[in-house]
Amino acid sequence: MPLVVTGSIGIDTIHTPTQVAEAVMGGSCSYFAAAASFLHQPVRMVAAVGEDWPAAHADMLGRFRVDLDGLERRSGSKTFTWTGRYFDNMNRRETVEVNLGVLAEQLPPMPAAYRDSRYVFLANTDPGSQMSFLEQLPHRKLAVADTMDLWITTQREALERLLQAIHGLILNDSESFLLTEISNPITAGRRIRETYDLDFVVVKKGEHGSLLLHRDGVAALPAFPAETVVDPTGAGDTFAGGFMGYLASADRVDFEAMQQAMAWGTVISSFTIERFALERLTELSLDQIRERLQAFARIVRVGC
């Protein structure tokens, strides 16, 4: 079933405790689309970049067979840029600098052929754009959003309107805390689900895995035990890509399918963090993902 995403396409600079990657391909939309494309093709993308967007980044998205008909290179505008820094053992990150550039402008028009999209992912971008994008998709069966501290603190009202219009939200534990002031991620996720009458909330807890608070039950998965963590950037977006890519390809939105979808998201994101930016995903195959998924199934097996 057709899957469409909007969000940021960024030029990232990433500082880890030992290395720096300058001006690499990033953005919520890019990571999402790359990850989802392992399970569902083509992923439709609506996003804008500035005239400074490197041609090599377009080639990279092309390699994932992302449908770029909805991508606009806007002359006179600048691409969104983000600089982040990781501390200690990569568990903590701060945003050093963010320049919204084209993200502060209007979204490009939705290609007419995308209007029949059934699965919709609103990757991180401003909630007003997420909402206007959603409203152009009358045939949506599953609309899921992600959000971030910047939008929770600066555009809370718009975000709350969006939450009332979607089926599910994926966010991390620090964001669920910011939204509810509840530190227990299970209670926070449940509160968000109930407050906005969502079908489900997924709370990601970094190396501690993820929780699914669904109308029909609760599920929890650990992260894939990873020894190589070079750059955690995009782990959240690639988790969402695996999650939505699985649901769109199976055309299922039930609780059991979401539990399965979380496993795909978990495994794909475990590859993302092994190298900087999208480097690892560009060299990944579906067979490698499947193999790790089987290893993951053995790791989490509960015999009772």
**Coil vs helix vs strand at 261:** helix
Residues 264-293 that bind ligand AMP (CB under 6 A): none
| Number of other CB atoms surrounding residue 294 within 10 Å | 11
Strands of 43-91 (E only): list them: 44-50, 67-74, 80-87
Piece of the chain touching ligand AMP by CB under 6 A; list 51-59, 173-181, 205-213, 233-241: 233-241
Q: Does residue 8 touch ligand AMP according to CB under 6 A?
A: yes
Residue number with CB closer to ligand AMP (10 or 108): 10
Pairing of strands 142-146, 200-204: unpaired
Residues 62-81 that bind ligand AMP (CB under 6 A): none
Give least dist CB 239 to ligand AMP, A. Answer: 8
Q: Are 61 and 68 in contact (CB under 8 A)?
A: yes
Q: Does residue 148 touch ligand AMP according to CB under 6 A?
A: yes
CA distance 35 to 146: 15
Name the β-bridge partners of 85.
15, 94
Q: Does residue 236 touch ligand AMP according to CB under 6 A?
A: yes
Q: Are 202 and 212 in contact (CB under 8 A)?
A: yes
Residue number with CB closer to ligand AMP (2 or 237): 237
Pairing of strands 200-204, 168-172: parallel
Piece of the chain touching ligand AMP by CB under 6 A; list 5-13, 113-121, 135-143, 259-267: 5-13
Among 129, 233, 249, 266, binds ligand AMP (CB under 6 A): 233
**Coil vs helix vs strand at 115:** coil
| Number of other CB atoms surrounding residue 167 within 10 Å | 17
Two structure tokens written together for 303: 């015999």
By rule CB under 6 A, what string of x and - marks binding of each residue 10-39 to ligand AMP? x-x-------------xxx-----------
Residue number with CB closer to ligand AMP (89 or 112): 89
Compute CA distances 83 → 88, 217, 255, whole Å.
17, 38, 36
Count of residues that bind ligand AMP according to CB under 6 A? 17
| Number of other CB atoms surrounding residue 170 within 10 Å | 28
Give least dist CB 33 to ligand AMP, A. Answer: 12
CA distance 211 to 242: 15
Give least dist CB 82 to ligand AMP, A. Answer: 4
Residue number with CB closer to ligand AMP (118 or 125): 125
Give least dist CB 116 to ligand AMP, A. Answer: 26
Q: Are 95 and 15 in contact (CB under 8 A)?
A: no
Among 16, 37, 117, 124, binds ligand AMP (CB under 6 A): 124
Q: Does residue 6 touch ligand AMP according to CB under 6 A?
A: no
Contacts of 223 (CB under 8 A, 6+ apart): 206, 207, 208, 209, 210, 266, 270
Q: Does residue 206 touch ligand AMP according to CB under 6 A?
A: no
- Interface contacts to ligand AMP, rule CB under 6 A: 8, 10, 12, 26-28, 82, 98, 124-125, 148, 150, 233-237
